[in-house]
Amino acid sequence: MISLLQRTSLLVIPSNSQGVAAFMPKNLQPRPPQTIKAGRGSVVSLRLKTDDAERGQNRKLPLVSVMLLTYERPLLLRHALRQLARSTQERLEVVVWDDSPSAGPQDAEELRSYLRPEDQTLVYRYSRERLTIGNKRNLCVETCTAPYVIQVDDDDLYSVDRIPYQVEPLIRGTAQLTALRQNAWVVLDERNDRPRFFRATEEFQKLPHYGTMAFAKEIYPAVRYPSESSLGEDEAFFERAGAVRTQLLDNCDDHHVYVRHARATNVGHNLLRDSRFRALDDPPLEMMIALRDVAQNMPSCEPDETSLRL
């Protein structure tokens, strides 16, 4: 039996990497690429070991793996990587899982250029087979090598302090899973040019936004995403983690802003008629600036055709 992991391809592009062979910095020691022929594809694993002197203090900090799924949204993927490059969390392993028809190694080095060269590693796994979101999340967790995993969606907004804010309780051992409370939502129309801003009511802010989970990898695979699901898989994971030490964190500082758009899995209903939300007529400037980057990179329109009326 050939596992799905064996039918996909893996590229690991480490910090400070500028390529391989003749283009490799002197402080990097390559391990020979490993190719395993299997099924309809192959696993290609390339890992470069960074010299201890180069990493220095950073090696004392815990590594955090970022789970980042994408499908046919190359501009949004780059938007997400730019946000991660601004994160105040040191030592990130960014695991991208891409099952787009065009996915492949040709873009990996360019994707790596969006991250910080000194302490962020790109792990790029691509599949020719279209997968459910739940399946991709499970496979992504299995790819992560850090003791802590945090979920990032390519179309949402995150503060620079979001990752350390959520990972700190995991490192201290006071929680095995953290999630941010419900707070800010932005709804875009089909042209992505007329945003409506909303805040969750005080009562709704008591509940988690399931798409913001960070957790200790040790809880997996006892707690898994439903592999057959592409909607609500993160809520199911949260509910399955009932016996896990869980901490809900306030999101009043907009560490996460959920962006709902025409191509989101949760297109839902009219929030103007939802008693759990109130319209936000004067959103923070930082939120509006960040939203412009998301809207301009939506697959439903070209960047030069989008003009947010803020």
**Is position 260 within any domain?**
no
Residue 29 lies in a domain: yes
The pLDDT of residue 290 is 75
Q: How far apart are CA 58 and CA 54, in angstroms?
A: 9
Rg, Å, the chain Cα set: 19
CA atoms within 13 A on the CB side of 83: 29
User: Would you call 218 helix, strand, or coil by DSSP?
Assistant: helix
Are 301 and 192 within 8 A, CB to CB?
yes
pLDDT, average across residues 131-153: 97
Does residue 225 form part of some domain?
yes
Task: Give the global pTM.
Answer: 0.81
Cα separation of the two ends of the chain:
54
d(CA 266, CA 131): 18
Rounded to whole angstroms, the Cα distance separating 239 from 80 reads 27
Please identify which residue in the block is written with the tokens 């490059």: 85
* 262 within a domain of the structure (yes/no): no
149 located within any domain: yes
Residue 101: cis peptide before it, omega within 30 degrees of 0: no
Phi, psi of 248 (to 5 degrees): -90, 130
Q: What is the pLDDT of residues 163-214, one digit of tens each?
A: 999 999 999 999 999 999 999 999 887 766 678 899 999 999 999 999 999 9
User: 184 or 2, which is more confident?
Assistant: 184
Q: Residue 273 domain-assigned? A: no
Q: Which residues sit opposite 68 in a β-bridge?
A: 96, 152
Written as six digits, the tokens of 184 are: 């800010």
Q: Is residue 227 part of a domain?
A: yes
Instruction: Band the pLDDT of 268: cuts 50, 70, 90.
Output: low
Mean pLDDT of the chain, nearest integer: 80
Give me the number of domains the chain comprises: 1
Residue 193 confidence (pLDDT)? 65
Distances (CA, A) of 118 to 18, 85, 94, 155, 174: 12, 11, 13, 25, 30
> Does 196 fall in a domain?
no
Q: Give me the domain span that covers residue 132.
A: 5-181+209-250
Chain segment 289-304, per-residue pLDDT in tens = 778 777 777 665 433 3
Q: How many CB atoms lie within 10 A of CB 308?
A: 17
Q: With cut-offs at 50, 70 and 90, classify the pLDDT of residue 15.
A: low
More confident of the two residues 282 and 217? 217
Residue 112: is its pLDDT beyond 70?
A: yes
CATH number at residue 154: 3.90.550.10
